[in-house]
Structure 1
Amino acid sequence: MSSQDAALGEPAELIVRCQDDRAVHVRLCDLFDEDEDCVHYAIEGCAPGLNARLDGVAAWNWEGDLAPFLEGLARDFRGWDGERVWQTNDRDLTVTAIFGSGGHVGLTWTLRPWRISVGTWDASVTTWLEAGEQMSALAADVRNFLGQEARRHG
Structure 2
Amino acid sequence: MTSPGGHLDDQPSVTVRCQDNSSVSVTFCDRFSFDQDSVHYAVETRAPGLTARVDEVVAWAWDSDLTTFLDELVADYRGWDGERSWHTMDRDLAVSAVFRSGGYVGLTWTLRPWGSAAGDWSTSVTTWLEAGEQMSSFTSDLRHFLAGGHVPRSPG
Q: Could you state the TM-score of these two structures normalised by the residue count of structure 2?
A: 0.89
The one-letter amino acid paired with 1:14 is V
* 1:11–1:126 CA distance, 2 compared to 1 (3 A): same
Q: Could you state the TM-score of these two structures normalised by the residue count of structure 1?
A: 0.91
Q: Secondary structure at the match of 2:34?
A: strand
Whether the 8 Å contact between 2:63 and 2:89 is mirrored in structure 1 is: no
Higher relative helix content: 1
Moved over 6 A (4+): none
1:114 CA displacement: 2.5
Report the equivalent of 1:97. 97
The one-letter amino acid paired with 1:60 is W
Name the CA distance, whole Å, in 1 between partners of 2:133 and 2:6. Answer: 22
Name the CA distance, whole Å, in 1 between partners of 2:34 and 2:16. Answer: 25
Matched, 1:84 2:101: no
Q: Secondary structure at the match of 1:73?
A: helix
Name the CA distance, whole Å, in 1 between partners of 2:114 and 2:88. Answer: 11
- Identical pairs, percent: 57
Name the CA distance, whole Å, in 2 between partners of 1:144 and 1:91. Answer: 23
Report the equivalent of 1:143. 143
Consecutive unaligned residues in structure 2, runs of 5 or more: 150-156
Report the equivalent of 1:152. none
* Aligned-residue CA RMSD (Å): 1.7
Report the equivalent of 2:123. 123
The one-letter amino acid paired with 2:73 is L
Consecutive unaligned residues in structure 1, runs of 5 or more: 150-154
Q: How many residues align?
A: 148
The one-letter amino acid paired with 2:20 is D
* 1:122–1:63 CA distance, 2 compared to 1 (3 A): closer
Whether the 8 Å contact between 1:91 and 1:114 is mirrored in structure 2 is: no
